[in-house]
Structures are given as structure tokens and as C-alpha cells.
């Protein structure tokens, strides 16, 4: 791989990282509005408020960047980067097109898990460094939640790795077959629920429950750093939806996959993102204890059962 190609890939990944979350965010604005009988943004940019998030970004840039006097200033400033950059790495590992992923390493599944795990750390650092009780409470809730839901994600991903016989996401998507849709369905559902929880999105948003904790770990943040946390959330949706689309929904597999493979991946991921948005609109917030019950009494057993089923399937040669 020449250095030109490296730079080109990095630029493309960065562009996707900065634009796809905005697309998801705008979709959420409009879809949530219509599901609630509203119109949503209508004026920014002229046509149905398409530039609303661009305008929001311009606003965030102009805001004052406040660091509380009692905060651990270096960590406080660093936290958005700790939260944001791992998702950039995770995005790079996701296979998009036959033989194409931003970052093609042999054990990209492991790299993906490590990266998203570090991303969760950003929330904890933000809450701890803010020197604010709401932020601390939110961070502790987030810690409990992220630790609980990391396990179902790992187990469901392990199931696919077992089924495909590889740790490389590219190889896994390459070996995907339509009957995986049914075979790996429990694992897919576990991954969907656990990734929504991992992103602290509603209905699993107790760490940022605005009625109780103001904005949880992000309470003290303002301006661009706050915007980075929001970007993290939506980048997380993009990354998780892309991975779900690549591993469980077949990624580029579809008509004309040689030329339109990337489009299939993105379309499937968009459908998953819409589902994640829909869950936010339709369902109420889960209590902290219900959240733990769901993780340990439902998701982990289902994921383990899926792993066993996959093992049986691999031995039987499905």
C-alpha cells in the first residue's frame, strides 16, 4: 500500500466520519418530528431544513469553551477526544465493499471491540474530570451500563467469528450466506440491543437522563467539546449500524455487488440506523436495575445460547 493510498483512505474515512453522523442526525430530527406529529427543522438551508446540523455546528463553534474551576483540566479537555477518536478507528475497520475496508488488518474484529471499548472510557473520563455530582453520577451509571453491555457485544461478535471462521471483518462479510440471517438472528438482536445500550441511547439513556442528571457526564461541557460528544453518539450509531449491516445483514451482498456493493452496505446500515432512531421515539427509558436485569438475565444467556448454536452449526457444517 503506497503512502498516497494511505492518505486517500484516511481522508475518505474522515470525510465519512464527519458526514454520515450528520446524515443520521438529520434523519433523527425529521423522523422523530414526524413520529410526534411535528415537522422538525424546515428553514436552515432552504429545503426542509437540510442544513440544520451544519447550522448547529456553526453555533457550537461560536460558543465559549468553559472549563470549570474545580475540574481536572487536562482530563476534562481530553475526554471528548478519548470518546470520539476510537469510533473513527472502529469506522475504519468496517468492510464497505468487496475487498475494501478502510483499515484491513487480520484481526479487525478484535480491533473493533477494543476501539469501541476505549470509546466508552471517554464518557467515564468526562464524568470524573468534571467535578460535578451530576456528571459523576452519570459516569458511574455509564460505567455500570457499559461494562454490562460490553459482554453481549463480545459474545454475539464471537458467534459470527466462529460461524465465519475468521477474526477479519472483511473475511467474515465475504463468507456471509443468506441462511445466516436466520442462524445468527438471536445474536443480531443481542448486538442491536447491546449496541444501543453501549451508545447510551434511549431507551438505555439513564447515564444522561435529563430529568435526573441534567446531561450526565456531559453536564459541564459547552461549545465544540459538547458537540464532539454529540458527534460521538451519532458516529457510534453509524459504526454500529455499519457493522450490523456488514456481519449480520450481509453487507455488500446483493445485486451488482461488484459495483454497487458499497451502496448495499450503506443502505442496510441506514435501515438499521432508522430502527435505532425509531426505538428512541417509541420506547420509554429503562430503569437502571431493569437495565442490569436485561443485560445479565436476557442478553448474556441468549448470546451464550447463540454461541452454542453457532458451534453446533459449524461442526455440522451448515
Q: Where does this chain bind other proteins (CB under 8 A)?
A: 31, 33-39, 42, 278-279, 281-283
- By C-beta, is 283 or 296 nearer to other proteins? 283
d(CA 196, CA 287): 15
Shortest gap between Cβ of 17 and other proteins (angstroms)?
29
All cell numbers assigned to 140? 458511574
- The residue (of 11 and 39) whose beta carbon lies closer to other proteins is 39
* CA–CA separation, 173 and 192 (whole Å): 17
Q: What is the nearest approach in angstroms of other proteins to the Cβ of residue 76? A: 37
Identify which of residues 31 and 305 has a Cβ nearer to other proteins in the complex: 31
Give the C-alpha distances (Å, rounded to integers) separating 120 from 212, 227, 230, 233, 275.
21, 17, 14, 11, 22
- Here the cell at position 170 is 472483511
- The nearer residue to other proteins, 83 or 193, going by C-beta atoms, is 193
**How far, in Å, CA of 90 to CA of 107, rounded?**
12
C-alpha cell at 46: 432552504
Overall residue count recorded for the chain in this entry: 318
Please calculate the CA angle 305-310-311 and round it to the nearest 5 degrees. Answer: 95
Taking the complex as a whole, the smallest distance from the CB of residue 283 to other proteins amounts, in Å, to: 6
Query: How many whole angstroms separate alpha carbon 30 and alpha carbon 83?
Result: 26
CA distance 262 to 20: 14
Pick 262 or 278: Cβ nearer other proteins: 278
Shortest CA distance to 274 belongs to which of 19, 24, 21?
Answer: 24
C-alpha cell at 104: 484491513
What is the closest distance, in whole angstroms, from the C-beta atom of residue 33 to other proteins in the complex?
A: 7
Amino acid at each position: 500500500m503506497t503512502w498516497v493510498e494511505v492518505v486517500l483512505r484516511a481522508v475518505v474515512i474522515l470525510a465519512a466520519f464527519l458526514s454520515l453522523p450528520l446524515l443520521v442526525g438529520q434523519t433523527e430530527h425529521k423522523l422523530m418530528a414526524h413520529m410526534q406529529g411535528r415537522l422538525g427543522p424546515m428553514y436552515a438551508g432552504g429545503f426542509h431544513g437540510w442544513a440544520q446540523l451544519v447550522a448547529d455546528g456553526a453555533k457550537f463553534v461560536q460558543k465559549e469553551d468553559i472549563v470549570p474551576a474545580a475540574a481536572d483540566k487536562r482530563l476534562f479537555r481530553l475526554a471528548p477526544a478519548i470518546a470520539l477518536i476510537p469510533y473513527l478507528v472502529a469506522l475504519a475497520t468496517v468492510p464497505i465493499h468487496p475487498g475494501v475496508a478502510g483499515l484491513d488488518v487480520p484481526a479487525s474484529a478484535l480491533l473493533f471491540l477494543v476501539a469501541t471499548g476505549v470509546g466508552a472510557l471517554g464518557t467515564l473520563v468526562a464524568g470524573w474530570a468534571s467535578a460535578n455530582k451530576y456528571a459523576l453520577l452519570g459516569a458511574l451509571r455509564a460505567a455500570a451500563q457499559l461494562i454490562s453491555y460490553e459482554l453481549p457485544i463480545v459474545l454475539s461478535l464471537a458467534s459470527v467469528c466462529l460461524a465465519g471462521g475468521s477474526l477479519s471483518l472483511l473475511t467474515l462479510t465475504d463468507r456471509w450466506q443468506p441462511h445466516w440471517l436466520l442462524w445468527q438472528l438471536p445474536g443480531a438482536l443481542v448486538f442491536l440491543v447491546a449496541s444501543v445500550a453501549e451508545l447510551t441511547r434511549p431507551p438505555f439513556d439513564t447515564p444522561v437522563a435529563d430529568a435526573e442528571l441534567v446531561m450526565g457526564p456531559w453536564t459541564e461541557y459547552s461549545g465544540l467539546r459538547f458537540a464532539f460528544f454529540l458527534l460521538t453518539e451519532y458516529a457510534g450509531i453509524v459504526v454500529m449500524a455499519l457493522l450490523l449491516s456488514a456481519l449480520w445483514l450481509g453487507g455488500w451482498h446483493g445485486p451488482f455487488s461488484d459495483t454497487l456493493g458499497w451502496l448495499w452496505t450503506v443502505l442496510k446500515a441506514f435501515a438499521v440506523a432508522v430502527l435505532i432512531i425509531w426505538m428512541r421515539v417509541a420506547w420509554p427509558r429503562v430503569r437502571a436495575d431493569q437495565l442490569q436485569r436485561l443485560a445479565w438475565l436476557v442478553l448474556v444467556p441468549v448470546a451464550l445460547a447463540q454461541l452454542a448454536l453457532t458451534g453446533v452449526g459449524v461442526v455440522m457444517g451448515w
